[in-house]
Homo-oligomer: A and B are copies of this chain.
């Protein structure tokens, strides 16, 4: 695919004039990262930001003892690292490729110029950051107000969203990574999956396939109305 078309396909750049897409094509650079490679580190100086073209990227924090908390997982079309464009100049967390990943890198100054020129780009970015804040609100709510079974139930329901009738979900990340996303450790996650299975909420086949046997029950777990025995 031609680069301009790839750019036009990115939601952040939707509604821009062809001319602007061409400008972007001039100022951005393409990079490829292999699975497990770091894209940037918490505290690094940021000279620009990224957009995922293909593959997936996790954004995460590390504790001194090495525990990891995943903040986001971004896929194709999603920007990351933009926070450092508008404040602080340093990345507030780490970024690493979860699989072979292609990204566009866009220099700060060039991008800010574009934002200044084009209100719809500004509004797109505002929408993106607002969405991000909304998700963070949920993450904080989960971490602080729900126990691990509730967080897991919420995640399973989230995975099955929009799939009416189909109660089979496929985890899109390893259980280790899922534990880190849910703010716990693999052992705890494993035990809770076992309990949910024992109590008839779910049934799993293979490492990543989970059948939701009791959606309603899961919703009650997620909202805190019910708890595991």
Contacts and interface: CB of A to CB of B under 8 A. Distances in A.
Protomer copies: 2
A64 to B, nearest CB: 4
Contacts of A223: 64
A63 interface: yes
A71 B71 CA distance: 16
A87 B143 contact: no
A6 interface: no
Contact of A115 (B86, B119, B224): B119
Interface string A159-193: 00000000000000000000000010000000000
A144 to B, nearest CB: 4
Given A140-B61, A143-B140, A134 B69 contact: no
The interface residues of chain A, by DSSP majority, are classed as helix
A133 B132 contact: yes
B83 A133 contact: yes
B141 A65 contact: no
A183 B146 CA distance: 11
A177 B62 CA distance: 27
B64 A144 contact: no
Nearest to A61: B141
Interface string A65-105: 10101010000000000111111100011000000000000
Contacts of A61: 137, 140-141, 144-145
B123 A112 contact: yes
Given A69-B140, A136-B140, 15 more contacts: A63-B224, A64-B223, A64-B224, A87-B130, A92-B133, A92-B134, A92-B138, A93-B137, A115-B123, A116-B119, A116-B120, A119-B119, A125-B126, A126-B126, A136-B137
Contacts of A86: 123, 126-127, 129-130
A139 interface: yes
